Amino acid sequence: MKLILLGPPGAGKGTQAVRISERYGIPQLSTGDMLRAAVAAETPVGLAAKDIMARGELVPDDVVVQIISDRIDQPDCKNGFILDGFPRTVAQAEALEGLLKSKNMQLDSVVELAVDDAILIERIEKRAKETVGGPRADDNAEALKKRLDVYHAQTTPLISHYSGKEILRSVDGMSEIDRVTSDIISVLESA
């Protein structure tokens, strides 16, 4: 199963991706996690991405597309994967379509986690306080506002992009965590 979890920062994509990954035995591919690892390891990609991420802006499309292309080539992705935080622009979605085609793969579902902005802000403030080892560099009020603006401007166009392809399913991301998981599973299994 190859799926995209789509939703704003704080929607619960990471939490749900871990659960879906365990249920179906397919890896969670989070570009945010991969970029944070690159920043921590001070690789060339990490050094270039660090300040962009701290401001809450998007890393260039070609950088994340390359990261995902390399990751999908790993043997553990053979039976599927969950994309968490990628694609984030229509250009990334188009690049993904091209690279899946070139690898003879096909996307099965895009699941949107719908959450109101006011709830996102609350959740991210809570995450910033609770993260062991200190908050993420971009979990502060200014970067969060930027991340939400970027989401509305650059990522929400993906919703109509994928609904046009009839693979979009929407789940209420404001329900409690177990309910969101079971709703995701039921939309995946009825797809």
The catalytic residue positions are 13, 88, 127, 136, 147
- Minimum separation from the CB atom of position 9 to ligand AMP (A): 5
- Cβ neighbour number for residue 164 with a 10 Å cutoff: 9
Taken in order 134, 131, 139, 91, the sign of the CA dihedral is positive
When the beta carbons of 159 and 191 are compared against ligand AMP, the nearer one is 159
107 or 191: whose CB is closer to ligand AMP? 107
C-beta of 26 vs 85, nearer to ligand AMP = 85
Chain residues in the site for ligand AMP (CB under 6 A): 9, 31-32, 35, 52-53, 56-59, 64, 85-88, 92, 138, 147
User: Closest distance between ligand AMP and the C-beta of residue 181, in Å?
Assistant: 19
Measured from each CB, the residue nearest to ligand AMP is 32
**C-alpha torsion sign, points 128, 131, 135, 138:** negative
CA distance 34 to 46: 9
CA pair distance 146, 10, nearest whole angstrom = 13
Residue 171 phi/psi, 5-degree rounding, is: -125, 140
